[in-house]
Amino acid sequence: MKRLLLFIAVFLFVFSSVDAQDAASQVILLNYKTLAKKASSSDEQIIDEKKGAKSSTWVKRGKIYQDVFNQGLEQIQLGSGATSLKIFYGDPLSEPEIDSNNIETYKYETINYLFEDAKLRGWSRNNPINEDPLNVALVSFQKSVELTEADKQMKLQEKLLPDLDELKDQFQKSGQSNYFHGDYALALKDFESILEVNKFPIYEGIVDTMMINFSGIVARELGRVSEDEAMYRHAISYYKKLTELNYGGTDMYIQMTRDYYSIGDTLGAIDNLRRGIIQYPDSSILVTLAAQAYYLLGNNEGGMEFVDWKIKETPDCATAFYWKGLLLTNQDNLSEDTIAMALDLYEQSIAIDPTQATVWYQAGYVYYAVGANYFELEGYEDDPEYRAELTEKGTSNYEKAASKLERTYEIADDDYTLKTEALDFLKRIYYKLYGNEDSRYLDVMKRIKSL
């Protein structure tokens, strides 16, 4: 039975291969020379006074230039393998060339195909009929509608819909090829052209969020490569559109924040984040990023105004309480009262959300710093009673710090840095309070070695 099944499988493979070859022989491929003549004839017709005034002339022209783009691509897709290429287009002019990036180039008379990891990723033209055939097609279809009587324009667009749909697919394919080549300017132009096609009234109500997103991604890449602020802002404009469409959630605001930082516009980043918080009031990451921006600017007043606003709007926002504590201590020469207020804010944050390892750590760190300060003062004090008082305060704060830092270690999960920092302070605390023979100190040393 196994041999029979194997025979059937081989039989099917042989015949499917034959069918593929037969299909290849039956396919009528677009002819380069014929298309060149048609394109040249179309160029002449549109400057003819009578023919150029006809809608049908421009419809025909659009379809011709779509064929100009399709020539050499009509039977394969990006991601196709070299076998499919050879089935439909025959063998290349020579053996594939492989460059230093391991890109294989299959050269044919009118087009070169670029493969990466055995998959088609892009192409280049040899003596192209037109450098930008898809844009010619788009302009032609737009002109055909313009030349049509107003009450008949929608009917024409209904007839053109399959061509317009194909045109969008072609622009996307071209954009992906240009992106592979690293020509981000052309890739951006291709993706934006899809959005232009969507402006035909026949597409009313359709929003292509994927292409808006692609345009934003490529604009940012272009800004990064060319160090062009205008391109970063162009990318931001696309993400603003997406937020208006409620697409992408908080990720859109996070990405715009990165873009603002890339061009050194911290105030723009803050304004962006505040808009995001209004749209997504439960997002702790947006609150963190906004407060962090104020913190890094040293704008404590603005930061305090922000977190107070957030606490008023959302009284159970644990992140806002945490950052208020940080902003409160973002200054030199802190008083005991200020430190006590910050610690109280951390406690409020923990009470709302006890799963925040960072807040437990920050509270532990502050208690440790206060305790260390008391122990330092004790070393310089001669009065036995005052020294005893300082020792008591130092010990009390160290014990509180140890409690917070142990909790940090418990809930930090895979945060190696936070765990390491917590254990480092615990090592100092236990050594100071109990000595290096104490079980608590030895346990911490064991945990440090096991990380």
What pLDDT, in 10s, does the model give residues 68-118?
999 999 999 999 999 999 999 999 999 999 999 999 999 999 999 999 999
Asked if residue 166 belongs to a domain, the reply is yes
- 216 inside domain: no
- The more confident residue out of 53 and 333 is 53
Pairwise CA distance, residues 263 & 244, whole Å: 23
- pLDDT reported for residue 18: 41
Is residue 55 situated within a structural domain?
yes
Span 326-330, average pLDDT: 91
Residues 166 and 191 in one domain: yes
Pair of tokens at residue 82? 């070299």
Amino acid at the residue 19: D
Say if residue 145 is in the same domain as residue 168. Answer: yes
Is the pLDDT assigned to residue 402 strictly greater than 70?
yes
Per-residue pLDDT at 172: 97
Final residue in a domain of this structure, among 144, 177, 198: 198
**427 and 377 in a common domain:** yes
> Which pLDDT band, with edges at 50, 70 and 90, does 17 fall under?
very low
Query: Do residue 37 and residue 113 come from a single domain?
Result: no
What is the per-residue pLDDT across 168-182, written as a single tens digit (0 to 9) for each? 999 999 999 999 999
- What's residue 334's pLDDT? 87
**8 A C-beta contact, residue 283 and residue 277:** yes
Higher pLDDT: 254 or 24? It is 254
Place of tokens 């240009």: 178
Q: Is the pLDDT score of 16 beyond 50?
A: no
Q: Is 407 a member of any domain?
A: yes
Residues 153 and 189 in one domain: yes
Average pLDDT over residues 197-220: 96
| Residue 449: inside a domain | yes
Query: Are 60 and 81 in a shared domain?
Result: no
Q: How many CA atoms lie within 13 A of 297 on its CB side?
A: 20
- For the chain, give the percent of residues with pLDDT over 70: 94
- For 24, the domain range is 18-71+131-198
The predicted-structure confidence for 120-145, as pLDDT tens digits, reads as follows 999 999 999 999 999 999 999 999 99
**pLDDT given at position 15:** 36
The 3 state secondary structure assigned to the chain is: CHHHHHHHHHHHHHHHHHHHHHHHHHCCCCCHHHHHHHHHHHHHHHHCCCHHHCHHHHHHHHHHHHHHHHCCCCCCCCCCCHHHHHHHHCCCCCCCEECCCCCEEEECCCEEEEEECCEEEEEEECCCCCCCHHHHHHHHHHHHHHCCCHHHHHHHHHHHHHHHHHHHHHHHHHHHHHHHHCCHHHHHHHHHHHHHHCCCHHHCCCCCHHHHHHHHHHHHHHHHHHCCHHHHHHHHHHHHHHHHCCCCCHHHHHHHHHHHHHCCCHHHHHHHHHHHHHHCCCCHHHHHHHHHHHHHHCCHHHHHHHHHHHHHHCCCCHHHHHHHHHHHCCCCCCCHHHHHHHHHHHHHHHHHCCCCHHHHHHHHHHHHHHHHHHHHHHHHCCCHHHHHHHHHHHHHHHHHHHHHHHHHHHHCCCCHHHHHHHHHHHHHHHHHHHCCCCHHHHHHHHHHHHC
Let me know whether 63 and 83 are in one domain: no
Say if residue 208's pLDDT is above 90: yes
Give yes or no: residues 81 and 182 share one domain. Answer: no
User: d(Cα 310, Cα 303) in Å, to the nearest integer?
Assistant: 11
Residue 295 has pLDDT above 80, yes or no: yes
Tens of pLDDT, residues 246-270: 999 999 999 999 999 999 999 999 9
Per-residue model confidence (pLDDT) at position 381: 81
Q: Which of 171, 198, 225 is the last residue of a domain?
A: 198
Give the Cβ contact number of residue 353 at 10 Å.
Answer: 15
- Over range 384-411, report the average pLDDT: 95
The rounded mean pLDDT for the chain is 92
Helices 250-262 and 229-244 pack at an angle, to 10 degrees, of: 170
Handedness of CA 380, 384, 385, 388 (dihedral sign): positive
Same domain, 143 and 174: yes
**Residue 333 counted as domain residue:** no
Instruction: Report the C-alpha gap between 91 and 107 in whole angstroms.
Output: 9
State mean pLDDT over 269-289. Answer: 95
What are the tokens at 403?
């409690």
**Domain end residue (candidates: 198, 213, 238):** 198
> Do the domain assignments include residue 104?
yes
**Residue 87 located in a structural domain:** yes
pLDDT at 27: 66
Q: Using a pLDDT cut of 90, give the percent of the chain over it.
A: 89
Report the pLDDT value the prediction gives residue 11, as an integer from 0 to 100.
Answer: 35
Q: Is the model more confident about 13 or about 54?
A: 54
The number of beta carbons lying within 10 Å of the beta carbon of residue 185 is 14
Residues 85 and 183 in one domain: no
Task: Report the domain count for the chain.
Answer: 3
Domain shared by 83 and 170, yes or no: no
d(CA 277, CA 286): 6
Phi–psi pair at 115, nearest 5 degrees = -115, 140
Do 147 and 39 share a structural domain? yes
